[in-house]
A and B are shown apart, each in its own frame.
Chain A
Amino acid sequence: MIGIRNVSQVYRTRAGDVEALREVSLDVADGEFVAIVGRSGCGKSSLLRLVAGLQTATSGEITVAGTPIRGPRQDIGFMFQRPALLPWRSVIDNVMLPLEVFKVDRRVARTRAHELLDLVGLNGFDKRLPHELSGGMQQRVSLCRALIQQPRVLLMDEPFSALDALTRADLTVELQRLQMKHASTVLFVTHSVDEAVLLADRVVVLSPRPGRLRQIVEVDVARPRSLGHDGHSAALGELRARLHDLLMTTEEVTR
């Protein structure tokens, strides 16, 4: 579904060129959930923005559903680190925004928005303004907005990183539930190993400066997963430890 071929990204700054990504290649299958982890400065957000068409790679090619990325597309949904809700629009109008831009019939949009809000447990909040909601609820609305255009690919850029630990755990569970139900193709950037092992089919580890693909770790654990005392904690614990070591020993990678 997503094909990333030898992608490099160099930012030109006043202090000289900064190499953010070097020769990264990755394939994401249809319905697969891939998490990208790495320390700050490993270019994981850059990679996601490249797939989203928000910026252009210095070299290499990215395709989604067989078509090269030339700019933002309707079949790609993007969820930001912050909710980025329009503060003057009600919850439902925020969720419907993409369909308004893509000129989808308003009634269809409304029905779909209500369904999504139901799905994330926000029915009854549709007429509220964003500032009346908690951070976790706002990010749920943001998720609905990313899903309403029914994207083939959902890109998530550290979507829960601005939330407190418990709300974050809540939303991770919720996202897992949605993923099990809809099996959408997701590329999920995070710096949280816990989120990665809970949600992903595969975890891609990037090493920093410049961002290179270090290793891909398969998470072969049945869903629903949990970090609590259930049957999977041992297997997940093992994977967490492995990822942790991979992330903490990046210095060993020769430049």
Chain B
Amino acid sequence: MSVTQAPPARRDTAGRDTVRRIGQWSQHLPPVLGLAAAVALWWAVTVVFEVESFILPSPLQVAQTLVEDADYLWDNTLVTLWETLLGFLLAIVVGVPLALVVTASRMLERTVYPLLLMLNAVPKVAVAPLLVVWMGFGQFPKVFLVFLVCFFPIVISTAAGLSSTQADLVELGRSLKMNWWQTFRMIRMPAAVPQLFVGLKLAITLAVIGAVIAEFVGATEGLGYVIVASGASADTALAFAAMILLGVLSVVLFYLTAAVERFFVPWADRS
């Protein structure tokens, strides 16, 4: 009986494997199709309407630029990446402790939150020139602007995570006579990490935008500078190439953050 049953069982698992492979494929298919459709449409528009390349370059021209100016673009990508990461890390280093302080006292929260909200409401584009006045033309004002952009979502999400610990876990701490520090270290802090990552994922996408805005003013390098400079010389294909790289940079950084999250908080979305 078991012998006659074995073959169907094997076929069954093979079938499931195939299904899973198709499943994986169909998972990646929609984004690839969407991207391909967008590029095709773009190409069609440039061909059908015979758009001048300085107004809208075709995908092919942009691709050529990406290859021909690869070194130049790569160097500037690294500049932007570096500013983005530094500003992002600075925002974590300052934002997370500030969230701790804010959640530790109701009075501090009420003192600091309106200030934070006001700071966040200031258009960062308006701050960029001021930063140049205050800090000069180097990389620091760029890093600082990234910091300003990232800071707010990180503080808010960390504070939210720290002050929304599950009631039964807090109760558990109480039943074990945990003191404030033990409760914080063993329960509230780890419980806040998933929320922290919500803020980090939001912040990392904003960080790239912040870096570009900063590079629009008083910069001599970086992808933002490349876009401004190529606009001035009507080299639209180069601007497009820089924008595509920015998009890729943003996506890569986002998924890296998500990967770090999955590594450190594998339990996050399941409990």
Contacts and interface: CB of A to CB of B under 8 A. Distances in A.
A233 B172 CA distance: 37
Interface in B251-271: 265-267, 270-271
B190 A97 contact: no
Main SS of chain A's interface residues? loop
B244 to A, nearest CB: 39
Given A54-B171, A84-B168, A97-B186, A129 B266 contact: yes
Nearest to A149: B176
B178 interface: yes
Contacts of B178: 101
Contacts of A98: 176
Which of B172, B178, B191 has the most A CB atoms < 10 Å from its CB? B172
Give the bracket for the number of chain B residues in contact with chain A: 20 to 34
Nearest to B169: A84
B168 A82 contact: yes
A129 B176 contact: no
A73 interface: yes
Interface string B169-199: 1011011111000100011001101000000
A74 interface: yes
B171 A80 contact: yes
A130 B177 contact: no
Contacts of B270: 87, 131
B34 to A, nearest CB: 33
A62 to B, nearest CB: 15
A70 to B, nearest CB: 11
Which of A72, A73, A84 has the most B CB atoms < 10 Å from its CB? A84
A131 to B, nearest CB: 4
Nearest to B179: A101
A65 interface: no
B191 to A, nearest CB: 8
A78 interface: yes
B267 A130 contact: yes
A72 B174 contact: yes
Contacts of B175: 52, 54, 72, 78
Contacts of A87: 267, 270-271
Interface in A82-99: 82, 84, 86-88, 97-98
A157 to B, nearest CB: 10
* Across the A-B interface, the 8 shortest Cβ-Cβ residue pairs: A87-B271, A131-B270, A84-B168, A87-B267, A78-B175, A72-B177, A101-B176, A84-B172
Given A86-B187, A87-B271, 7 more contacts: A84-B168, A84-B172, A86-B186, A101-B176, A101-B178, A101-B186, A130-B267
